[in-house]
Amino acid sequence: MLPRHFRALVLGSSGTIGSAIMRFLESHPHCEQVIGLNRRSVPAINYDAIDSIDSAYEALKTGPRFHLIMNTIGALHSDHFMPEKKLADLNASQLNQQFMTNAIGPALCIKLFSQLIDPAGGIYANLSAKVGSIEDNRLGGWYSYRASKAALNMLIKTASIELRRTKPNLIVAAIHPGTVKSRLSRPFRGDELGREPDVAAQEIFHTLEKLELKDSGCFKSYSGETIPW
Ligand SMILES: NC(=O)c1ccc[n+]([C@@H]2O[C@H](COP(=O)([O-])OP(=O)(O)OC[C@H]3O[C@@H](n4cnc5c(N)ncnc54)[C@H](OP(=O)(O)O)[C@@H]3O)[C@@H](O)[C@H]2O)c1
């Protein structure tokens, strides 16, 4: 789906996977331009200041169209919380924050930034997580992260159905990056179990470039296999 000379936009370019994707695209011979947005860029994307999504869209909407948009923003823990181990850990503040970062913010980004994809063809990929798969949930725990990624998956799938009608050359996909050594995974033996971010970026890109229009609305892992919802 990507033309020989493509333009890309990475949301969450300050993150471990986001910055690795930036490096990968900056050195890709066919990537004409890559723009990265994050909480400190100008314009910024900050889900804690939700209007920043509209402002960033306004700033980009008169520029040239993109062929690849990747949203890599997400959170599993913060200075204030760690993933819940048991029902007794559930609290409204963490659930709200996780839904905002992993589902609401990404959905509002799809609403606006999908308008910036070249009508001739393009890919909008949002990083999700296999632990958001309801069918694959065997271990339990991580309530708000799992539930917010499951909500994200539904939002992506639903958007893909509408966009298939209004933007027939657009692929919308939820991508599980696998375990990657990162700030997000570090407290959970990520450095021991995860892959290098630069390897993950390359694998994710190779899976994306193989997607076809019929794949729009898919939930795939970095290695290209379909993950059950
Ligand atoms: N690493 C893994 O093993 C793994 C596994 C499965 C899925 N994932 C998914 O992959 C994505 C990237 O993860 P990562 O490992 O690269 O994590 P990371 O290094 O912690 O990066 C997270 C990114 O999200 C941004 N972010 C977090 N909260 C935000 C908010 N409220 N508003 C705007 N930006 C916000 C961060 O911005 P700042 O730099 O400003 O903090 C950073 O750019 C996430 O969606 C995650 O769920 C990762």
Pairwise CA distance, residues 90 & 220, whole Å = 29
In this prediction the pTM is 0.98
Tell me the HSE value of 205 on the side-chain side, using a 13 A CA sphere. Answer: 25
143 part of a folded domain: yes
226 part of a folded domain: no
Does 179 sit in the ligand 1 pocket, CB within 6 Å? yes
Domain assignment of residue 54, given as a range? 6-221
CA geometry: angle 157, 159, 164, nearest 5 deg:
95
| Cβ-contact 37, 11 below 8 angstroms | yes
Mutate to test the pocket of ligand 1, among 53, 55, 131, 182 (most ligand atoms within 8 A of CB): 182
Count of structural domains within the chain: 1
Tokens at residue 46, please?
């900050």
144 part of a folded domain: yes
Number of H helices, E strands in the chain: 7, 6
Pairwise CA distance, residues 161 & 104, whole Å = 18
CATH number at residue 17: 3.40.50.720
Does 83 sit in the ligand 1 pocket, CB within 6 Å? no
| Cβ-contact 12, 106 below 8 angstroms | no
191 part of a folded domain: yes
Does 108 sit in the ligand 1 pocket, CB within 6 Å? no
Pairwise CA distance, residues 5 & 114, whole Å = 19
| Residue nearest ligand 1's atom 10 by CA | 127
Cα 23 versus chain centre, distance: 17
Q: What residue type is assigned to position 190 of the chain?
A: G
| Residue nearest ligand 1's atom 7 by CA | 129
228 part of a folded domain: no
Give the model confidence (pLDDT) of 10-60 as tens digits. 999 999 999 999 999 999 999 999 999 999 999 999 999 999 999 999 999
When pLDDT is averaged across residues 185-190 and rounded to a whole number, the result is 95
Tell me: pLDDT of 1 over 90.
no
176 part of a folded domain: yes
- Closest ligand 1 atom to residue 47 Cα is 32
Tell me: pLDDT of 220 over 90.
yes
Ligand 1 geometric centre to CA of 165 (Å): 31
156 part of a folded domain: yes
Does 36 sit in the ligand 1 pocket, CB within 6 Å? no
